[in-house]
């Protein structure tokens, strides 16, 4: 490994933001761009001024100079591409979800472990990069909210046409919990520092009824934690509402709410006590905001195994929620 990290980007929808971030980093360069639409890949290459158009995914993996494969393909392609990249000795940065089933997760973990856990593996759960949630995590860790007893997260997708007309309608077993709710499930685990033990879930597909989309477009999962904490996460893909993440976190000392009225902190039950409005952005600046730290970890050969274990825990919780939804019963979360 040299100090210059060589990247290849696969899938140039969201992946274009990946490519632009890599291209802007001093210690990084883009070598390959691969997309099913070669015209799109060529346009991104011309815009960046670097990165050749790859003929195939296999050609990317065969290039020994490639250090990182950044995956932004369709959800159902992630698993095979992640495993193939790890087996080829590449570091992997992948859009959510990392994979979609417990068996896939076991294979990903085993493949990563076979590298002596030296390879960096991270999913782009990019809300962690938002200044608001970084502050909230620090506030929870400092005890400012007291004992946390409830987390509510609503993933309001607000893009119905992407369900009825886009690629999601063609994906077998598409899950709105794994495809969108995963962001709020990640925040729940990351901010609280806890893992759920059990989960129940319900859903419906009223918003997409009569369309080509075949699965629930709304799902609500309730997570139970050993501490007594209850987490409730909804993935609402068909809502008549702009895209937004609503988060409510309740502790014994304070309550945090971020919604249409902006982020704010309540520190008293007395309505006469002013609420504290937080001037912090609830969104990252770009979809590539986690990449600079990812690249730095590669250059510095940082030990990020605990962070990778968190990635596995998030998918374990998502998979359990999806299983609870399909079975209409409460299930234990199986951690891989």
Shared domain check, 83 and 163: no
Q: How many separate domains does the chain show?
A: 2
Shared domain check, 101 and 248: no
User: Domain for residue 309, yes or no?
Assistant: no
Shared domain check, 173 and 52: no
Span 119-143, pLDDT tens digits: 999 999 999 999 999 999 999 999 9
- Label residue 11 left, alpha or beta by phi (over 0 means left) and psi (-120 to 50 means alpha): left
Which helix (H) or strand (E) element contains residue 213? none
User: Domain for residue 293, yes or no?
Assistant: no
Shared domain check, 114 and 192: no
Shared domain check, 274 and 144: yes
Q: Single out the residue in 125, 157, 177 at which a domain terminates.
A: 125
Cα dist. 40→13, 46, 72, 244, 298 in Å? 9, 10, 14, 28, 29
Length of the chain measured in residues: 336
Shared domain check, 115 and 59: yes
Shared domain check, 138 and 10: no
User: Domain for residue 292, yes or no?
Assistant: no
**Alpha-carbon torsion (171, 177, 178, 181), positive or negative:** positive
We report the CATH number of the domain holding residue 24 as: 3.40.50.720
* Per-residue pLDDT in tens (0 to 9) along the chain, 336 residues: 446 999 999 999 999 999 999 999 998 999 999 999 999 999 999 999 999 999 999 999 999 999 999 999 999 999 999 999 999 999 999 999 999 999 999 999 999 999 877 899 999 999 999 999 999 999 999 999 999 999 999 999 999 999 999 999 999 999 999 999 999 999 999 999 999 999 999 999 999 999 999 999 999 999 999 999 999 999 999 999 999 999 999 999 999 999 999 999 999 999 999 999 999 999 999 999 999 999 999 999 999 999 999 999 999 999 999 999 999 999 999 999
User: Domain for residue 168, yes or no?
Assistant: yes
Query: Within its chain, how far is the Cα of 39 from the centroid?
Result: 28
Q: Could you tell me the two tokens for 169?
A: 């309608």
User: Domain for residue 143, yes or no?
Assistant: yes
Which helix (H) or strand (E) element contains residue 239? none
Shared domain check, 141 and 103: no
User: Domain for residue 47, yes or no?
Assistant: yes
Which domain covers residue 232, as residue numbers?
A: 127-287+316-332
1-32 burial, b for 16+ CB within 10 Å, e for fewer?
A: eeeebbbbbbbbebbbbbbbbbbebeebbbbb
Shared domain check, 44 and 120: yes
Span 325-334, pLDDT tens digits: 999 999 999 9
Beta-bridge partner residues of 200: 222
Q: Single out the residue in 89, 106, 125 at which a domain terminates.
A: 125
Distance CA 55, CA 59 (A): 7
For residue 254, the model assigns a pLDDT of 98
Shared domain check, 262 and 146: yes
CB 302 within 8 A of CB 310: no
Shared domain check, 86 and 58: yes
**Other beta carbons less than 10 A from residue 186's beta carbon:** 26
Shared domain check, 181 and 67: no
Q: Single out the residue in 106, 125, 144 at which a domain terminates.
A: 125
User: Domain for residue 297, yes or no?
Assistant: no
We report the CATH number of the domain holding residue 215 as: 3.30.360.10
């Amino acid at each position: 490994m040299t100090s210059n990290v060589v990247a290849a980007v696969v899938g140039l929808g969201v992946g274009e933001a990946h490519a632009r971030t890599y291209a802007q980093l001093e210690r990084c360069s883009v070598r390959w761009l691969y997309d099913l639409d070669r015209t799109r890949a060529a346009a991104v290459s011309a815009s960046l001024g670097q990165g050749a158009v790859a003929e195939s995914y296999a050609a990317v993996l065969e290039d020994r100079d490639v250090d990182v494969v950044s995956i932004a393909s369709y959800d159902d392609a992630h698993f095979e591409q992640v495993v193939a990249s790890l087996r080829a000795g590449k570091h992997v940065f992948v859009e959510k979800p990392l994979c979609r089933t417990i068996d896939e997760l076991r294979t990903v973990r085993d493949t990563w472990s076979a590298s002596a856990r030296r390879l960096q593996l991270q999913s782009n759960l990019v809300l962690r990069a938002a200044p608001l949630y970084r502050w909230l995590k620090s506030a929870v860790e400092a005890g400012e909210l007291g004992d946390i007893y409830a987390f509510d997260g609503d993933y309001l997708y607000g893009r119905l046409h992407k369900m009825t007309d886009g690629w999601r309608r063609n994906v077998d077993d598409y899950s709105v919990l794994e495809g969108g709710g995963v962001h709020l499930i990640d925040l729940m685990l990351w901010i609280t520092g806890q893992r759920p033990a059990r989960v129940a879930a319900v859903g419906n597909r009223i918003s997409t009824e009569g369309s080509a989309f075949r699965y629930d477009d709304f799902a609500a999962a309730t997570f139970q934690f050993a501490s007594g904490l209850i987490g409730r996460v909804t993935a609402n893909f068909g809502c008549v509402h702009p895209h937004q993440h609503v988060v409510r976190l309740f502790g014994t000392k304070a309550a945090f709410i971020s919604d249409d009225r902006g982020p704010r902190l309540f520190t008293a039950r007395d309505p006469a006590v002013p609420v504290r409005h937080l001037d912090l952005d609830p969104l990252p600046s770009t979809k590539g905001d986690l990449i600079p730290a990812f690249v730095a970890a590669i250059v510095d050969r940082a030990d990020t195994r605990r962070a990778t274990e968190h990635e596995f825990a998030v998918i374990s919780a998502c998979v359990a929620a999806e299983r609870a939804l399909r079975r209409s019963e409460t299930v234990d979360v199986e951690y891989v």
